[in-house]
């Protein structure tokens, strides 16, 4: 029997925002489409129908599939900060309002849920739980949110192109995860190291210190860290510091110099240069941009 031919991908963004979830609020529901969530700050426990619960920490992403019941519980105080994008693969869902995406309880009427591509590379998305996001994924998600919320001319075409790039980055991250050759014990040690970095961004996280904490040599640590997280140790530290700097710029009136110091950069000029490299604008302009939204 000839295999069914799948239609070409025609992805559409239904909703895209940066949002917070308070610790006391537990999300429990189904969705009609799919949602990619990247946790910028905090720690959450995720349960998806038919799978083992998994922990998500800052800098990690996960996929909430259509139809399956899921539960997202914030473990960190006072809340968790997400980047979230709802989408489908084949432009099969008409959304008039945000509530059209969500299904609570067990509805009496039949509900149409969006389809998942059946190719192996997409089916792999359903297995990993949470993975560390690459800088490319972080940038693509942020740009999708900017396009979708600002809605300039051609924004839907732009969002579609960005989604396709995001799909490729996700598949690569998952493939890299499957190829990681570290033992379970070493993977756990690296995960704990990554958590320690997220919790103390101001610390001097050099490769030598990380290797000493793992009790392995520097070169092997660098290769293993990248296999397990998808990023080099230096890129990982920069991304975590960048996310925290953005949060401080949005939520505090601290000076640029004080924020740079708080996230581990003793030289304000170096901080400004690194921030501009990651965000495409200096920290002062980013703060002004956030206050316009």
- Residue 151 pLDDT level (bands cut at 50, 70, 90): very high
d(C-alpha 50, C-alpha 69), whole Å: 9
Distance CA 254, CA 252 (A): 5
pLDDT at res. 178: 63
Q: What integer best gives the mean pLDDT of the chain?
A: 89
Rounded to whole angstroms, how far apart are CA atoms 119 and 125?
11
Radius of gyration of the chain (CA): 20
Mean pLDDT over residues 184-213, rounded? 88
Rounded-to-integer distance, Cα 54 and Cα 36, Å:
15
**Dist CA 264 CA 221 (whole Å):** 21
Residue 209's pLDDT is what? 94
Cα(2)–Cα(265) distance, rounded to whole angstroms?
A: 59
On the question of pLDDT at 112 being above 50, the answer is: yes
Q: Is 189 helix (H, G, I), strand (E, B) or coil?
A: helix
**Does the pLDDT at position 155 exceed 50?**
yes
DSSP E strands in 65-220: the ranges are 70-74, 79-88, 102-103, 131-132
Q: Give the integer Cα–Cα distance in Å for 64 and 52.
A: 14
26-31 and 70-74: which strand pairing?
A: antiparallel
* pLDDT band at residue 1 under the 50/70/90 scheme: very low
Is a pLDDT exceeding 70 seen at residue 146? Answer: yes
* Higher local confidence (pLDDT), 188 or 50: 50
Beta-bridge mates of residue 19: 82
pTM above 0.85, yes or no: no
Q: Are the CB atoms for 183 and 164 separated by under 8 Å?
A: no
**pLDDT for 105:** 75
Confidence of residue 110 (pLDDT cuts 50, 70, 90): confident
Distances (CA, A) of 240 to 163, 164, 199, 221: 23, 25, 9, 19
pLDDT digits (tens, 9 = 90+) for 21-46: 998 889 899 999 999 999 999 999 99
How far apart are alpha carbons 63 and 273 in whole angstroms? Answer: 33
The yes-or-no verdict on residue 183 having pLDDT over 80 is no
């Amino acid at each position: 029997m000839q295999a069914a031919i799948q239609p070409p991908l025609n992805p559409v963004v239904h909703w895209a925002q940066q949002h917070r979830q308070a610790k006391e609020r537990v999300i429990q529901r189904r969705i009609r489409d799919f949602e990619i969530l990247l946790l910028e700050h905090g720690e959450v426990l995720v349960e998806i129908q038919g799978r083992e619960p998994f922990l998500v920490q800052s800098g990690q992403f996960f996929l909430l599939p259509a139809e399956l019941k899921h539960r997202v519980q914030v473990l960190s105080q006072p809340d968790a900060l997400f980047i979230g994008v709802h989408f489908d693969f084949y432009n099969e869902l008409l959304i008039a309002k945000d509530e059209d995406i969500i299904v609570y309880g067990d509805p009496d009427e039949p509900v149409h849920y969006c389809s998942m591509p059946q190719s192996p590379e997409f089916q792999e998305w359903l297995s990993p739980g949470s993975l560390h996001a690459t800088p490319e994924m972080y940038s693509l998600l942020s740009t999708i949110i900017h396009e979708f919320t600002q809605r300039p001319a051609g924004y839907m075409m732009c969002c579609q192109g960005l989604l396709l790039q995001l799909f490729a980055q996700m598949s690569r991250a998952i493939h890299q995860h499957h190829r990681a050759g570290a033992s379970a014990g070493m993977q756990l040690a690296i995960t704990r190291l990554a958590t320690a970095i997220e919790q103390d961004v101001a610390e001097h996280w050099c490769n030598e210190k990380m290797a000493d904490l793992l009790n392995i040599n520097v070169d092997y640590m660098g290769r293993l860290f990248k296999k397990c997280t998808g990023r080099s140790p230096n890129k990982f530290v920069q991304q975590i510091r960048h996310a925290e700097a953005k949060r401080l710029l949005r939520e505090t009136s601290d000076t640029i110099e004080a924020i740079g110091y708080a996230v581990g950069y003793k030289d304000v000029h170096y901080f400004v240069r690194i921030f501009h490299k990651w965000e495409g604008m200096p920290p002062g302009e980013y703060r002004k941009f956030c206050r316009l939204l």
